[in-house]
Structure formats: C-alpha cells, structure tokens
C-alpha cells in the first residue's frame, strides 16, 4: 500500500478502478484509442446493415434514393435520355408527313409519262387513222380526235384505279397513293388528277389548255416538298411515291 490508497500491485496495468477519480496532478487519458481490430478483419456493422459487397437480403426494400430513373435524375454517361429519343416511324419536327414512301422526283415522273404516252398512244393512233380513212369527212376527223384522247385518258384512269399505277410508273418504280393513304384510288379521284389530259378532247383550245396545265404541274411538283403537283392536290391529296 502507498499513500493515497493506490496500490500498483493491485492494478498492474496502470488503469484506475471503475468509478475512481484520477489522482491529484494526473490528467485523464482522453487520447486513448479504442481497441484495434485484428489485421484483415472488418469492423462489425450495426445490426441489420449488410457487410460491404453483400447484397440486401431477399425481401428487404431497397433504398428509394438509390434507385435509377428518379424524377429529375440525369442520364449516366453514354446513356441516351429516353424522353429525347424519337419514336420509330414518326416524322421529325418540321418534316412533312408522307403516305408510305419516298416521293417520286420530277425527272422520273416525266420519264414515266413518256413511256405511258407511247403505250397508250400507239393503239389510240391506230384507231384514229382507221376512223379517218373510214369516214372521210370533217365529222370523221372530229370523231377520231375525240376517240384518240378518250383512249389515252381512259388508259391512265383505268390503270390507276385497278393497279394503283401505270405501266410507265411501274417500269420506273413509281406508284400513286390515294388521298389519306387509302388502299385504292376511286374513279373520281383519278379523273381529277388527269383532267389536264381530258381537256385535249376540245379541239384547238384543249391543246393550249393542256400544255399550260402540264407546265404548271411540273412547276408545282418541283416546288412542293412532297412532290405533289396541283393535279394531286386538286384530286384531294394523291401522291406519287417510289416503291
């Protein structure tokens, strides 16, 4: 025993007994470190929390703040924003809607008209000369003229309402789409879009009118983004497309 009641033999570690105040002149040891874990051993986690690298037990709810796709969350690097993706098949902003294909250009459509003119003009010319020689009169010539352009006009109308195209357009890979993408073209619609040919039935003035309408048709086709001429819009919105 020593003075002050402290026996070093009783407390060999130098620690104070539980609840005992430190001796006079001694400072309390605040800088003592907690007992160290053995090397390589992870400290124990509080009850209910998983160890590092372990998954949540089955059935336990995930952290709602760690879930992806929260409102206002920015997409990760290299990921696209799903709200900014363009839907498949929908036209981009400012793009004119089509009915089912790339619009046919003016040069290709002109080539198809030349082919159709030859196909329809050969039988019409044969009938014309037969009538002229059979009826050698002014009436015969007038009748042959009417039949000639009636046959040519009927060729375009019948081909469009039955096949959706003409032989010349089919050879060059074009077809006519009905207004609004309807499956078939009605006779009324086809007559309207070929009205510039039908006016040829009128002698003299009909040819001048047909020539002026054909020139205006070429101008409107070239200037329109969907390659629709005035005759397409007059017919309700037909469109010549590739395919």
Give the residue extent of every domain in the chain.
Answer: 106-242
Asked if pLDDT for residue 67 goes beyond 50, the answer is no
pLDDT confidence of residue 101: 81
Percent of the chain with pLDDT over 70: 59
* φ and ψ of 68, to 5 deg: -80, 160
Of 171, 167, 149, the residue nearest 159 (C-alpha): 167
Q: How many CB atoms are located within 10 Å of the residue 198 CB? A: 19
Asked if pLDDT for residue 53 goes beyond 80, the answer is no
What DSSP designation does 142 have?
A: H
Mean pLDDT of the chain: 75
Asked if pLDDT for residue 210 goes beyond 80, the answer is yes
Tens digit of pLDDT for each residue in 194-203? 999 999 999 8
Asked if pLDDT for residue 1 goes beyond 80, the answer is no
CA distances from 178 to 106, 119, 157, 158, 190 (A): 19, 23, 13, 14, 9
pLDDT confidence of residue 183: 81
Tens digit of pLDDT for each residue in 181-197? 888 999 999 999 999 99
Polymer length of the chain: 243
Of 168, 153, 54, 51, the residue nearest 113 (C-alpha): 168
Tens digit of pLDDT for each residue in 89-147? 444 333 344 556 899 999 999 999 999 999 999 999 999 999 999 998 999 999 999 99
Q: What's the rounded mean pLDDT across residues 221-242?
A: 96
Asked if pLDDT for residue 172 goes beyond 50, the answer is yes
Residue with the larger pLDDT of the pair 171 and 48 = 171
pLDDT confidence of residue 7: 52
Of 169, 162, 158, the residue nearest 117 (C-alpha): 169
Is the CB of residue 164 less than 8 Å from the CB of residue 228? no
* φ and ψ of 174, to 5 deg: -120, 155
* Gap between the Cα atoms of 98 and 238, Å rounded: 10
* Gap between the Cα atoms of 62 and 65, Å rounded: 9
Q: What share of the chain is helix, strand, coil (3-state, %, to 5)?
A: 45, 5, 50
Asked if pLDDT for residue 45 goes beyond 80, the answer is no
Strand partners for 90: none
3-state secondary structure 153-164: HHHHHHHHHHHC
pLDDT confidence of residue 181: 83
What Rg do the C-alpha atoms of the chain give, in angstroms? 46
Q: Which of 60-64, 129-133, 147-151 has the lowest mean pLDDT?
A: 60-64
Asked if pLDDT for residue 16 goes beyond 80, the answer is no
Residue with the larger pLDDT of the pair 89 and 30 = 30
């Amino acid at each position: 025993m020593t003075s002050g009641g402290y026996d070093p033999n009783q407390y060999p570690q130098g620690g104070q007994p539980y609840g005992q105040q430190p001796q006079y002149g001694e400072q309390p040891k605040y800088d003592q470190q907690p007992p160290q874990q053995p090397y390589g051993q992870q400290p124990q986690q509080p009850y209910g929390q998983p160890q590092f690298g372990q998954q949540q037990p089955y059935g336990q709810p995930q952290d709602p703040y760690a879930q992806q796709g929260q409102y206002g969350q920015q997409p990760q690097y290299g990921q696209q924003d799903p709200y900014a993706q363009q839907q498949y098949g929908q036209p981009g902003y400012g793009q004119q809607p089509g009915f089912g294909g790339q619009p046919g250009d003016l040069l290709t459509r002109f080539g198809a008209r030349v082919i159709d003119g030859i196909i329809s003009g050969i039988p019409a010319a044969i009938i014309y000369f037969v009538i002229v020689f059979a009826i050698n009169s002014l009436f015969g010539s007038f009748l042959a003229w009417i039949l000639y352009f009636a046959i040519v006009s009927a060729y375009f109308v019948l081909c469009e309402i039955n096949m959706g195209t003409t032989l010349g357009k089919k050879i060059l890979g074009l077809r006519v789409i009905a207004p609004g993408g309807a499956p078939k073209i009605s006779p009324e619609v086809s007559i309207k879009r070929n009205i510039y040919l039908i006016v040829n039935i009128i002698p003299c003035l009909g040819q001048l009118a047909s020539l002026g309408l054909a020139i205006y048709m070429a101008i409107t086709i070239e200037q329109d983004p969907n390659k629709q001429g005035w005759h397409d819009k007059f017919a309700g919105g037909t469109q010549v497309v590739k395919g």
